[in-house]
Amino acid sequence: MTGERAKAELYALDLSGVTWLSAPDSDARDRIEIAELPGGAVAMRNPADPAGTVLRYTAAEWEAFTLGVRDGEFDLSPEH
């Protein structure tokens, strides 16, 4: 239940004061923004719809995701 509690706490956070960051020189059509949250957690949103869905990741989830990106887990095959 600890993981479920952590997620519930993340989704209960007020994000109105967070600083949203995006990659410098990124294309506005393909941009995402992230915000650092307490405890190493991260929020992610589409800046084209700032009032839309905001995904929130625990520190462990974010680390697993970024390690997967670095390891090529999400690389598309040549036919994509």
**Res 80: pLDDT:** 54
**Res 79: pLDDT:** 64
* pTM of the shown model: 0.81
Residues 6+ apart with CB under 8 A from 6: 58
Question: How many whole angstroms separate alpha carbon 3 and alpha carbon 1?
Answer: 5
Burial of 53 from C-beta contacts in 10 A (0-12 / 13-18 / 19+): exposed
Q: What percent of the chain has pLDDT over 70?
A: 95
Domain residue spans of the chain: 2-70
Residue 40's identity, in one-letter code, is G
